[in-house]
Amino acid sequence: MAFGLRTKSFGFIEGEAHEFVGALQWWNQIDDSDQWQRGTYYALCAAYTLVSFVALVQLVRIQRRVPEYGWTTQKVFHLMNFVVNGLRAVLFGFYRSVFAIRPKALEQVLMEVPGLLFFSTYTLLVLFWAEIYHQARSEPAQKLRPSYFIINGFIYLIQVCLWIYMSVSKTAAGLEAAKLLLAGYFYQH
């Protein structure tokens, strides 16, 4: 007994193609509009400022409640969230000045530092949960913090090497390599 595989062909009827292209025109209008770009950057600035403020309030609240413990992983996490989101708010708030910075490698450093700190912040969150897990199971946790520092140090070393290559090379290859590496780190932007 033979079975036939039915396939449906996908294609545009002449009218549908025009509708599809017309539906994409709104994006081109927004992308070309300075007013939309400015509004988007300032909205992101406001959002990151709000998140940064919330992280600062949380840090102060925890410090006031239990000051005797010093700088715990949780407090450092909130401090790093405050710094990361504050830096992003500043970058989005002054986006025209940031995009005008020359040399291009310096602009790239300013744009990538919040991403690197974001990586460190959330690997710190992983460390925090790993410490809780090990404490709950009464297992030793001495090797967790050194692992955190080694992983972050390695990532920062690679990034610094890329920044040096970008500033020395003067080609687009260094810039593309840095963007590719950061995209691999965070799979964002």
Indicate the residue among 85, 100, 115 that finishes a domain.
100
What span, in angstroms and rounded, lies between the C-alpha atoms of 77 and 92?
Answer: 22
- With a cut of 80, say whether residue 127 has pLDDT above it: yes
| Arithmetic mean of pLDDT over the chain | 82
pLDDT score, position 5: 46
Same domain, 71 and 122: no
Residue 80 belongs to some domain of the structure: yes
* Residue pair 93/44 in contact by the 8 Å Cβ criterion: no
Q: List pLDDT tens digits, range 152-165.
A: 999 999 988 888 88
Residue 16 belongs to some domain of the structure: no
> Where residue 169 falls among pLDDT bands split at 50, 70, 90?
confident
What span, in angstroms and rounded, lies between the C-alpha atoms of 107 and 95?
Answer: 11
Same domain, 108 and 182: yes
* Residue pair 127/145 in contact by the 8 Å Cβ criterion: yes
Structure-model confidence comparison of residues 6 and 51, the more confident one: 51
pLDDT score, position 19: 66
What span, in angstroms and rounded, lies between the C-alpha atoms of 45 and 88?
Answer: 7
Give the whole-number percent of the chain exceeding pLDDT 90.
39
Same domain, 95 and 157: no
**What mean pLDDT is predicted for residues 101-129?**
88
Q: Which amino acid, 160?
A: V
- With a cut of 90, say whether residue 117 has pLDDT above it: yes
Same domain, 107 and 177: yes
Same domain, 79 and 139: no
User: pTM (2 decimals)?
Assistant: 0.73
**What mean pLDDT is predicted for residues 166-172?**
76
Same domain, 121 and 146: yes
